[in-house]
Copies of this chain bind each other. A is one copy, B any other.
């Protein structure tokens, strides 16, 4: 077997016209489009290179700082001009105004695994409420909310949700998967146009977790319940109908954080071991 080189792909996409990240037969997905483009470059239509991603975004969720890796035959990669040329080739195949864009292609450092080396993921949720400018140019990645929302109360609720907790109240349940996460940061601000920006960061997210966390804050923002109720609901550890899981359109994966190169392999090993210990189905530990 010829030696392989792991390559890091930094990606950005508008999730509107994708059926999420994961390849599915007959559906247009981000992974599918990317792997097809790789197959075109390397003329391997029968067996496209397989891509591993940091955050498996759901249907309609966007990304500007998604990270993936792919293992490529060293000789083939060199024949295509190396990583920089590969990025330009992929963008050429995807098209000049594509909804999927390869921002950077680089040789991955030793021990790098896009998924298991990651320390954290950060997301942003955009809401243009009745106090904000509702900009039609950005309607596909912003939720338009018809009433005014109280951002001070939302910020209070968000802060109270942070820390190491069982987030079962905010997760779609999965057999055998833990719902314990460290919510490292969660805050609300308004931008220059009055648009509410929810910034969320965690070691990892379970399925629909960000959109449920946002839903709890929106319920607080429209005075359905007090800010203090949000953490009470978290402590109940069961899903509730007191707030809604917000639509995917407002959600964007912003960044994935990794440790210094020297710690990449150890971090990946640690993540894998922890997941195995927890008897998780790693393929299904879906990250929103």
Contacts and interface: CB of A to CB of B under 8 A. Distances in A.
Interface in A239-288: 252
26 contacts: A12-B133, A12-B134, A12-B136, A12-B137, A14-B136, A14-B137, A14-B139, A62-B136, A62-B137, A64-B133, A96-B144, A97-B139, A97-B140, A97-B144, A98-B136, A98-B139, A99-B136, A99-B139, A100-B136, A101-B134, A103-B133, A103-B134, A137-B138, A137-B141, A137-B252, A138-B138
Given A96-B144, A144-B96, A64 B101 contact: no
A243 to B, nearest CB: 20
7 smallest CB-CB distances across A and B, nearest first, come from: A14-B136, A137-B141, A14-B137, A99-B136, A101-B136, A97-B139, A13-B136
A14 B139 CA distance: 9
Contacts of A232: none
A237 to B, nearest CB: 34
Interface residues of A, number: 23
Residue among A64, A103, A136, A144 facing the most chain B CB atoms (10 A cut-off): A136
A110 interface: no
A185 interface: no
Nearest to A62: B137
| This protein's copies in its complex | 2
A13 B137 CA distance: 7
A14 to B, nearest CB: 4
Nearest to A252: B137
A85 to B, nearest CB: 14
Contacts of A144: 96-97
A135 interface: yes
B12 A135 contact: yes
A135 to B, nearest CB: 6
Interface string A151-179: 00000000000000000000000000000
A142 to B, nearest CB: 9
Contact of A64 (B12, B100, B135, B140): B135
Interface in A178-218: none
